[in-house]
Structures are given as structure tokens and as C-alpha cells.
Structure 1
Amino acid sequence: MAGTRTLYVVTHPESRHHVEGRVGGWFDSPLTERGRSQARSIAAELRRRIPTDASAEVFTSDLARTRETAEVVAEALGTRAEVAAGLREKSYGVAEGREQAWLDERFVFPPKPVDVSPKPDDVSGGERMLDHQARLDHDEGIEGAETRRELGARVYAAMDEILARPAGHQVVVTHGFAHTFVIGRWLELPLEAMGWAAFAARSGCITELTEDAVFGNRTLRRLADVDHLGES
């Protein structure tokens, strides 16, 4: 449709902390050689999807693995990547850079839904209460780790600045956990309702979001696509 606005959300491909089994977050690991090859595949796919006569903007987290990916994408699209630090991954505090097993041994899982039993005269069968606030403020028991609320607030702020720009095609290069909040902001989901939301992402995926020019409806058109990587 003419005038449709499109946002492509890219998660960085394979980086060194993946293959070394280390906690990522703000730990600034670079892409592996395989990751660099995947970045080129991502760039080629975005070049295929975005019309050659259309201008595109590219934004990236300030961490090395996303910046490296974004630079490859931007070159393919004939533009330059702009750094938006608010797009960086959730911080895992003192766990960052440590072996994943260290975090796994200390990780405190967030609260789950609470089943509320029905009253004797209630035929509804009860309900499950979702405590968004407890989930948003949960720090997983790790010193210095960000909560979902803290992560979401900065990602939402970064996306507000990006979406205020009029470009018809924008690319956001970010991380797996932050990916959920980029989508949440696009869909205008209040941060207070994001305690349970999760849009699963694989490394090197592309999520495509569109806004139509007639009604202004925003759609999650394609979630976490990895077909361009040519891997099973």
C-alpha cells in the first residue's frame, strides 16, 4: 500500500559471548565470523525488502555486536547508522561476562500467575491474577541487574525519538530481550502492561512492523523471521 510505514527490528547475530557460553547484557562482545556472515545476509534481505528508490534510516544499540551489524546494514542501504544507547540489551549486573552457569545457579525466576479460587456461588471457575507490577520490578536476584521496568522505560524513550521521525522505512538493530519492548512501543502497549509480554526472538532475526496510511493501524506483520540466514 502506498504510504505504508515499515519498521524492521533486527536482533544482532552470533557474537562471541554466545559461543563462549557467557552472559551477555551489557558485556560488550563482538560478532563472530559466523555472525559477520549472518549480518551480511540480514543486510541483503533488508535491501531486497526496501525499495531502492526509498530512503531508510538505521538505528542501533551502542554495544559492539549491534553496531557492527548496523554498519553492514546501513552500507547496503546507502545510509549511516545512528546510535541510540537506549536500545541496548537488559543489564544482568554482576553476572555480565561470567559463565552462563554462574547466572543459572543464582537466577530467581519472576512471579507466576496466581490462581484465585471461586467463591461457592461463583460458576466462573475462578481466574488467574497477573501481577504486572511485581514482574516489572523483579531484578532476578542479581546485584546491579535491570528490571523489566527499567529496561522498558529506556527502550520506550528511545523508540519515541525514533518514531517521531517521518521516515517511511526504519531499521532498529537491538537485542533479544529489548526486542519485546521495541515491538511493545510500536503497538502502543503501555509499559505497565508489559510485565508478561514476550515476543520471542532468535539471533539474527528480522521482525517486520507496518503502519497503514489509511487508518494508521499498526501491525506485527512478520515475527522473528530467520529464513534469510539459510539455516535450519
Structure 2
Amino acid sequence: MRTLIIEADGASRGNPGEASYGAVVEDEDTGELLAELAEYLGRATNNVAEYRGLIAGLEAAAAIDPRARVKVRMDSKLVVEQMSGRWQVKHPDMKPLAERARGVLPDAEVTYEWIPRNLNGHADRLANEALDAAAAGRAWVSPTPLRVGSGAAAATTAAQAAAPVSAKSQVAWSPDLGRPTRLLLLRHGVTPLTLEKRFAGIGDPPLVEAGQEQARRAAERLRADVRYGPVDAIVASPLRRTLATAEAVARAVGLPVEPEPGVREIDFGLFEGLTFAETHEHYPSELSAFLGSAEVAPPQGETLAALARRAVEAKDRLVARYPRQTVLVVTHVTPIKALVCAALGAPLSAVNRMELAAASLSVIDYYDDGLCNVRCVNDTAHLD
């Protein structure tokens, strides 16, 4: 059985600060260099960058030869011990990354080894090259095209498809990479809380009759309009209003609905169910702090930054799972705005400067090299 060697590293200038990863895949027997990977991540911790490098290396190895044994070598004691099962993964930012890493290849085929930093110089160099390229306003380009194995030749490279999008990595033209992975982001139809302009997060109101009609109109458009389709898969936030909207489309196009918790609405905590005026009356300082910082949560709620992280992680999973396909994602106003911000490289404060009507459609294309294209935001042609 073939054995592949992965060396991976992360870099963060500030920790947290401007971050990136680097990863290398080689054939153990021949020493052939099979892949060099690096990506600018935006602002992140070094641990996050280390995990992203590991994931990129594993996904590249899976694309090269999904039947190979894999030996991972890293200078991160934390990642090696956690992925070996000797240390628990406790930090909330690490858990989804560790789960994603474990899901790439069977556990029995992957081993982990700690190596001194001076023996991990190749991956470290790639990570720093990606940071330097981002600082210069250009995309890092791998000098070693991925050697995809015959079993995966028809698929896109998972490591590339799942690469995060960042503002600085977008400042470049790319060659024609063929069909992108397209996410059709459909907001659910109106509910009683929508009509009364109340905070509606993890509360579970149903669609009202007007919301059901909006769902039917969206379904008819997605069935008949080939501008953005046809739809290959449907996923939805696991709340009633999103599932009902998704099921209307599912009936029209003949596809099942897959729940995706990562695109659930933000948890508004004690703001839930209140109008803006009521919230300002009862929680004036808390509301001001929440609106003023993505890192401040409503009382007993969730920060905008946390919502954005899990929405982007969900996007990464979908792009890796459905390469070069069109996926309908039925979700809520805040996850859609967060994904648009991520695609544009805009700060999360921009969520307060976007209008997204109920049952509106926004479309983002994700390409194999990590670049993306926001095709439309708040398209309501099917409702007019």
C-alpha cells in the first residue's frame, strides 16, 4: 500500500493576527513532491492556522490517493496529541476543525508524529509565503500542481474547494477553472416575528400563509429558471421556517432536504421575540454593545463572530461535499449576510448595511483555487 507524508504548519503574526497555513504532500517511497499548498486565512490564531494546514494536507492526500496510508508530521504538539486521541479538544474553535480533519480519511489509515520546528521548514516557508503574498495584495500560487490520482481525476481537489476565501487573496485574475460550486442562499419566508420586526433567532415560529406563498414562488422559480440552476442538492437550517421553505422547493425539483446546523440563525438570547424598540427599552447598553462589536453577544446569546465562523465552516463543508455542483441553502438573514461579507472580504459590521427580504435569493460561486464571485444579493424577482 502506498504511503503519503504530510507536513503542515500554520503562521499567525500576532496570535490572533494575520494568519495562513502551509502544507506539503510527498510520496514516502520515492520522495516525489506531490503537492504544495498554502492559503491566507485573514485574522486567526496560530492553532486555527495549524488545523487548517492539517485539513488542507489531508484533503490533498485524499484527492491524490484515497487508499494510501498517511503519515502526518507537524511541530504543533497540540494538534498531534489531539488528533492522536491523547488530549481532549476543548476549545470551541478547535472542535469543528478537529472533526473535519477526522472525517477526511479513515482513522486507521492516518498516524501523527511530532517533529521539531526546524524539520518542518518546508510547510513553514509556504505559510509565510502566503502571508507575504497577501500583504502585497496578490494571491499565492502553488508551484506544484496537485497530482490527483486516477480514482479522483473527475473530482475537484477537495483541499482547493474547501479553501477559505479572504479579501487579500482575491486581488488577482485567475485562469478559467470551469464550473464553480454555486451556493444559492435562500432566506426563509415570513413568520409572525418577521412581520412584526422582532428578533427571531433560535426561536421556532412557523411560516404564516404569506410565507408559505413566498416559498411556493421561490420553488417555482428554482424549478423553471435555469439562470442559477439546476439545483443538485438542498440543505437547510433545522428550524421550522427554513425546513418548510426548503421542503416547498424540494417538492418542486424532486430532491431531499438535508439539515445543516451550521446555517442556523444567530442565538439572540434575551433579545429573542422583542422588537428593536422593546430591546432598546429593556437592554439599552447590551443592545448598543451587541450592535457595536461582532465579539459581544446579547445576554445569554451568541456573538456575530461565532455565527460567522460556523456559517463559513458550513460553507466549507458544502463546497467540499458538492464540488462543481449547485446547492440550495435555505437559511436566515444573518448567516447569508455573514457569508456575503466573507466572500467580499468585508468586515462583519457590514451586516448592518445590507437589506435581505424574506424569501430573497443571494448567489455566491466558489472556484477551485479559493476565489469566489458574489453574483447577486437580495434577488426578489420571483416575489414581484
TM-score grouping bracket, smaller chain normalisation: 0.7 to 0.9
CA, structure 1 residues 111+152, in 2 after alignment: closer, same or farther (shift >3 Å)?
closer
Of the three residues 250, 254, 276, the one matched with 1:78 is 254
Contact kept, 8 Å, 2:222 with 2:229, in 1: the verdict is: no
* Mapping 1:33-182, distance limit 5 Å: 33-50=209-226, 54=230, 56-105=232-281, 106-107=283-284, 108-110=287-289, 135-139=293-297, 142-165=298-321, 166-182=323-339
1:55–1:167 CA contact under 8 A, matched in 2: no
2:23 alignment counterpart: none
Q: Deviations over 1:74-101 (max 9, x none)?
A: 2222111110111111111022134554
The 3 A distance-change label for structure 1 pair 19 and 160 is same
SS at match of 2:288: coil
1:188 Cα deviation from its structure 2 partner: 7.6
Read off the aligned partner of 2:358 and give its amino acid letter.
S
Q: Normalising by structure 1, what TM-score?
A: 0.76
Tell me by how many angstroms 1:206 deviates.
Answer: 0.3
Q: Distance in 2 between matches of 1:53 and 1:86?
A: 23
Match of 1:221 in 2: 375
Secondary structure at 2:293's aligned position in 1? helix
Q: Name the counterpart of 2:363.
A: 208
Deviations 1:111-155 (A, max 9, x none): 99xxxxxxxxxxxxxxxxxxxxx722122xx31121111111211
The alpha-carbon deviation at position 59 of structure 1 amounts to 1.0
Computing the radius of gyration from Cα coordinates, the structure with the larger value is: 2
Look up the equivalent residue of 2:206 and give its one-letter code. Answer: P
In structure 1, the gaps of 5 or more residues are: 113-133
CA distance in 2, matches of 1:64, 1:28: 6
Query: 1:8 aligns to what?
Result: 184
- Go from structure 1 to structure 2 and tell me whether the alpha carbon gap of 1:10 and 1:173 turns closer, same or farther (over 3 Å shift): same
Distance change (3 Å), C-alpha of 1:54 and 1:21? closer
Structure 2 distance, partners of 1:195, 1:100, is: 20
> Is 1:28 aligned with 2:204?
yes
More helix by share: 2
Q: In structure 2, the residue corresponding to 1:46 is in which secondary structure?
A: helix
Residue pair 2:182, 2:365 contacting (<8 A) in 1 also? yes
2:81 corresponding residue in structure 1: none
Task: Count residues with an aligned counterpart.
Answer: 202
Q: Kindly tell me: are residues 147 and 205 of structure 1, through their superposed partners in 2, closer, same or farther at Cα, counting changes over 3 Å?
A: same
Letter of the 1:207 partner, please give it: S
State the match for 2:98 in structure 1.
none
Letter in 1 for 2:288: F
Aligned partners of 2:362 and 2:378 also within 8 Å: yes
Is 1:196 aligned to 2:375, yes or no?
Answer: no
Over 3 Å counting, the alpha-carbon distance change for 1:216 and 1:92 in structure 2 is closer
Does the CA contact (< 8 Å) of 2:181 and 2:319 recur in 1?
no
Distance change in 2, residues 1:6/1:48 (3 Å) = farther
2: distance between equivalents of 1:55 and 1:46? 7
Distance 1:135 1:50, change over 3 A: same
Amino acid at match of 1:197: A
**Pair 216,26 (structure 1): closer, same or farther in 2 beyond 3 Å:** closer
Relative contact order (alpha carbons < 8 A, sep ≥ 6): 1 or 2 greater? 1
Amino acid at match of 1:150: A
Q: Distance in 2 between matches of 1:196 and 1:52?
A: 28
TM-score by length of 2: 0.47
The percentage of aligned residue pairs carrying the same residue is: 28
SS of equivalent residue, structure 1 residue 222: strand
Contact 2:222 2:231 in 1 (8 A): no
SS of 1:103 mapped into structure 2:
helix
Q: CA RMSD in A?
A: 2.8
**Which SS does the other structure have where 2:349 is aligned?**
coil
**One-letter amino acid of the structure 2 residue matched with residue 137 of structure 1:** E
